Amino acid sequence: MEVYLVAGLQGVVSNYVEEVLELKKQTAALILCKLNETAKTKVARMIYTNFDSTITAKYGIIVEGWPLTDFCCPSDVGSHNELLILSRVFETGTTRFHLLSSEEFKRWKEERLPVATPVRPSTDPAQSQSDNPTPSTVPVHVDTPPPTSTVIFSLPQPPTPALSVPSTTQCPSLPEPPEPASSPPLSMPFAPPPLPPPTLLPAHYATQHSLLVLSLGGEDHAGNKQKHATPISAMFINTVTMENGLGITIPMKTCKVRSDKGIKHGPRRPQSGGRENVPIEAANSLQT
């Protein structure tokens, strides 16, 4: 209130900004000091992005009891209250750096970089026979549709014109219309091609087929098998944990996007032939 009465609103805002900047500087210095005390060596600076690969993998140190929802540098915290909380928890020891022992560090490295070992086929015939049992001979009948009936098409015969003999005393009579032929119809059988006999499939075909589909589910279109990582155990050591023991996602550094991304370029210029440009004087001398 006194600052507002003396310097006005602009003075209050400037004092708040200066206080936040000073608090950020003090908190960052305090965190770096605590890190050097735990590491028992000189650490140049505290790195928050890729903390697991830059700090934990190099010095074997993890963070326990981080109070904020995001693991970031104090300079990226915009709230004055969050800065006060972060500074106070490091002063009281609620949030601390923990130096892993040799066994913990070894286990952390194994759990962080799991390697999928490929399964090699067994050369023992007895074991292979037990793994792949002999298929049973129970046939599976496949129903076939009944054959269709024969279709007969009748084609009409061409009519034979009847001619009348003209007489000498009367005018010639016109030809009478032809009568329909009474010849038997021409039959043309039309039947579908014969179907193949029913195929007998072993009873375990469906089970083996489903297992084969599940085993090939990890293959891509190019035929390369994907390596499946081993399941993470429940005793996984998190690099940064909160007060309740839950892990926090560590920010990762992303690659810079090219400035010409999405811009279409014109066709390449045709390169000149293998011959180099010969000076005019040399060309004239060669011609003479």
CATH number at residue 58: 3.90.1460
- For 71, phi and psi rounded to 5 degrees? -90, 105
Q: Is-above-0.85 flag for pTM? A: no
Pick from 110, 56, 77: nearest CA to 240 = 56
Q: Which pLDDT value is given to residue 269?
A: 77
**What's residue 15's pLDDT?**
79
Tell me the C-alpha distance between 137 and 191, whole Å. 35
**Looking at the 3D structure of the chain, how many domains does it have?**
1
Q: Is residue 163 part of a domain?
A: no
Residue 223 lies in a domain: no
* Residue 222 placed within a domain: no
Residue 97 lies in a domain: yes
pLDDT 10s digits, 198-252:
555 555 544 444 444 444 444 444 445 444 544 444 455 677 777 666 777 777 7
CB proximity list for 36: less than 8 A, separation 6 or greater:
42, 43
Q: Is residue 107 part of a domain?
A: yes
Task: Please work out, in degrees rounded to the nearest 5, the angle formed at the alpha carbon of residue 52 by the alpha carbons of 48 and 55.
Answer: 70
CB < 8 Å & 24+ apart, contacts of 183-189 = 183/157, 185/152, 185/154, 185/155, 186/154, 186/155, 187/152, 187/153, 187/154, 188/152, 188/153, 188/155, 189/150, 189/151, 189/152
Q: Which domain holds residue 6?
A: 2-112
